[in-house]
Amino acid sequence: MAKNFIQPGNVLTIPAPAAVLSGGVVVAGDIKGIAQGDAATGAPVDVATAGVWSLPKIAANAFALGAKVYWAAGTGLATSTASGNTLLGVAVEAAPADSASVKVRLSGF
């Protein structure tokens, strides 16, 4: 292993940009992931930046397999609307409009 290797980066410990509960979406600049514990604003929080996660979604939105999934911070829900929202990843299975959640593979970028 190279001497300058630090970590795989699948889980990062960062200051929480806002209060978050375990399992909640964290967006800190281009770091996007899922909180692995509760944290107050500014407190350290472990954020998973990879994997597949079930996230609550806007009820009217439907997702096809492989569709881009965005995060609407204002509602705290996944959405298919790109404008004004943050790209999280892609749907790993279809989620019809009447479903409460969508399974998302995080993009990790």
What is the rounded distance in angstroms from the CA atom of residue 44 to the CA atom of residue 70? 24
15-42 pLDDT, tens digit per residue, is 999 999 999 999 999 999 999 999 999 9
Reported as a single tens digit per residue, the pLDDT across 33-92 is 999 999 999 999 999 999 999 999 999 999 999 999 999 999 999 999 999 999 999 999
The pLDDT of residue 109: 61
From the list 30, 24, 97, 82, the residue with the least C-alpha distance to 54 is 24
Mean pLDDT of the chain: 95
List the one residue out of 55, 54, 57 whose CA is nearest residue 96. 57
In this prediction, residue 107 has a pLDDT band, given cuts at 50, 70 and 90, of confident
Integer Cα distance of 108 and 34 in angstroms? 11
